[in-house]
C-alpha cells in the first residue's frame, strides 16, 4: 500500500495477471497488473511478458495466444471499440469481469486493495514490484 500516512488518498483495487503454462504442473508466471480506482474513475493495466521464463516452464507454450489474450485485456481496460460489449461497460464492471475466476491460460489472481493519490503511478509501481 502506498499513499500519505494518516489517511488521505483514494482506495484502489488491483489484481496480478498470471500465465499458467501447464495446468498439470500448477506453476505461474506474473505477466501484468490491473488497477481500478472508483474515486478517480481509473481502470488500467500494464503487462510484461517474460518469454524465456514461460518457455522454460513449457517449451510448447502458444506465446501468440498469450499475447492475444493480453491485448484483449488491454482493449477492455481502455474501453476500445474492438473489445466488444465488455468495453462499453463502466470501469468497475470491466474490472470485476476481468478479475472473475476463469479457466484459461491467462488468469487473474486475487483482488487486493491499497490507498493512493496516483492510480497510474501505482500501476507502474506494482508492475515493477510484482511482475518485472
What are the pLDDT digits (tens) for 55-108? 999 999 999 999 999 999 999 998 877 778 887 899 999 999 999 998 889 999
The structural domains of the chain, with segments of one domain joined by +, span 10-130
Please tell me the distance from the alpha carbon of residue 60 to that of residue 63, in angstroms, as a whole number. Answer: 9
The structure's pTM equals 0.89
Contact 125, 118 (CB under 8 A): no
Q: What is the pLDDT of residues 70-81, one digit of tens each?
A: 999 999 998 877
Contacts of 61 (CB under 8 A, 6+ apart): 19, 21, 54, 55, 105
Amino acid at each position: 500500500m502506498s499513499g500519505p500516512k494518516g489517511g488521505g488518498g483514494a482506495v484502489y483495487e488491483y489484481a496480478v495477471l498470471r500465465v499458467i503454462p501447464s495446468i498439470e504442473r500448477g506453476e505461474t508466471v506474473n505477466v501484468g497488473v490491473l488497477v481500478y480506482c472508483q474515486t478517480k474513475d481509473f481502470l488500467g493495466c500494464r503487462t510484461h511478458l517474460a518469454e524465456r521464463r514461460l518457455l522454460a516452464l513449457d517449451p510448447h507454450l502458444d506465446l501468440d495466444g498469450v499475447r492475444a489474450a493480453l491485448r484483449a485485456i488491454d482493449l477492455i481496460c481502455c474501453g476500445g471499440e474492438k473489445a466488444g460489449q465488455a468495453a462499453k461497460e463502466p470501469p468497475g464492471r470491466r474490472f470485476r469481469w476481468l478479475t472473475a475466476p476463469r479457466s484459461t491460460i491467462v488468469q487473474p489472481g486475487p483482488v487486493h486493495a491499497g490507498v493512493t493519490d496516483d492510480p497510474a503511478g501505482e500501476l507502474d509501481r506494482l508492475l515493477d514490484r510484482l511482475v518485472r
